[in-house]
Amino acid sequence: MRAFHLSLLSFFACFVSTFAAPPLLPIIRDNLNLTAAEIGYAGIASVTGAIVARIAMGAACDTVGPRLASASLILITAPAVFFTPTVSSPVSFVLVRFLTGCSLATFVSTQYWMSSMFSSPVVGTANGVAAGWGNLGGGATQLVMPFAVTLIRRSTGAAKFTAWRIAFYVPGLFQMMTAFAVLIFGQDLPDGNFRRLENSGDEIPQILFHGVRNYRGWILALTYGYCFGVELTMDNVIAEYFYDRFNLELQTAGMIAASFGLANLISRPVGGRLSDEVAKRFGMRGRLWTLWLVQTLGGVLCVILGRVNSLGGSIVVMILFSFFCQAACGLTFGVVPFVSRRSLGLISGMTGGGGNVGAVITQLAFFRGSKYSKETGITYMGIMIICCTLPLCLINFPQWGGMFSSASSSSATEEDYYMAEWSSQEKERGLHQASLKFAENSRRERGRRSACNTAPANDTPSSSSPAIFAV
């Protein structure tokens, strides 16, 4: 639980830092004379840096552990937050947003950490709550930054062009404090830190090989690009959208925009919990069907949001859309831990990176410059969500099946699937034991009826056992 709270808090801080600028854009754009295109490029830059960073973070977690990997990245990116008050041109503004956005790769370490600390029956819930409450930072910053600017102006008499610069020291200090907390109080695995344990045998080439060749990871990266990627896009555009379209004051627009991110308080955890609950009855097939349904409904609501013309109606639809969009994120990471056990970090990084790729593509296509109005861009984004969710029907696990197919044969087992990632020499050395234990625990993904009929009684862990496994 200490790892849970530390990963949550550090990821929250990174979200606050990355999206500290959007709620202040009406002031920043006047101060730096930013054009609509330059604002668009800055938004794209804020989510571009994390694409490669997330994949690298996955490999880092597989080799040095989530504690050291996440704390190092947070400390490396913190200076970019402190340099934001010094920007004086559009180019420097885009650069600091790019560097700050790299910190969002801590999402991968958060999911890896939770998947290492919690067993398969509750891993979706653990991943959903940790990531969802971390994502709250995207909503909290919509409230905190305008409030900080107002407070600074009232207490010091500073001009608004000075106040917004001073305000950025708040997220910078917060981010650094969480990094030191992770280093001092964190622990990689239930039985210790990576460097104190015996060499697991996980060399980077093997991690890359087994992760990259697994097509399920690529499909989840695509679909995640249109739930989490959409969330990142909305964090960048929603405050400006309400400010300009409905002629609202800065703080009012920020409060409305904050409700989108703050929905993560319940939406993403609900998605993770829903994934676990459905799996108890219907197994992995239930997880996949629920993910498809929830994300598709989110796409429909996104289309509607772009067509609503009233302020009240837009707020209601936006809140509903945010719930389904973020719940789909939680549902996605109810599936990810089962794709590969040996390359868990890399698969998590690929999926997380896919979220950022989706955000970049969406912002380039629909929110760059003045080609489309914000409402038209939101409508087209909804259509993209619906289309890019369809490939989920292609995911199939030989031991569990997929959306439209059952297990490939009655002889296909979880052990066969996860042991295929280890060579005979590695098995002789006992390096596969953690994966073997996870395979035994994963029999629940067959669904209630199948598990009752086929799970061996003498070597399947009891449903009441804690079953906490290290990777």
Could you tell me if 101 and 45 are in contact, meaning their C-beta atoms sit under 8 angstroms apart?
A: yes
Q: At how many degrees (to 10) do helices 204-212 and 36-64 cross?
A: 120
Please name the helix (run of DSSP H) or strand (run of DSSP E) that holds residue 401, with its range, or none.
Answer: strand 401-402
- Cα separations in angstroms, 256 against 50, 175, 470: 26, 25, 41
- Cα separations in angstroms, 449 against 97, 252, 280, 282, 283: 50, 52, 10, 8, 9
What does 11-28 look like in DSSP terms, one character per residue?
HHHHHHHHTSSGGGHHHH
Smallest Cα–Cα separation from 265: which of 385, 133, 382? 133
Could you tell me if 429 and 201 are in contact, meaning their C-beta atoms sit under 8 angstroms apart?
A: yes
CA dihedral of 458, 460, 463, 467, whole degrees rounded to 10: 120
Per-residue pLDDT of the chain (471 residues; tens, 9 = 90+): 899 999 999 999 999 999 899 889 989 999 999 888 888 888 888 888 888 888 889 888 888 889 999 999 999 999 999 999 999 999 999 999 999 999 999 999 998 899 888 877 788 888 888 988 888 888 889 889 999 999 999 999 888 999 999 999 999 999 999 999 999 998 887 877 766 444 444 567 888 888 899 999 999 999 999 999 999 899 888 888 888 888 888 778 888 888 888 888 899 899 999 999 999 899 999 999 999 999 999 999 999 999 998 999 999 999 999 999 999 999 999 999 999 988 888 898 899 889 989 998 999 999 887 788 888 999 999 999 999 999 999 999 999 999 998 887 777 889 899 998 888 888 888 878 878 888 888 888 887 755 455 444 444 443 333 333 333
> Which positions ≥6 away from 64 have C-beta within 8 Å?
194, 195
What's this model's pTM, rounded to 2 decimal places? 0.77
Exposure string over 183-215, b if 16+ CB within 10 A, otherwise e: beebbbbeeeebeeeeeeebeeebbbebbeebe
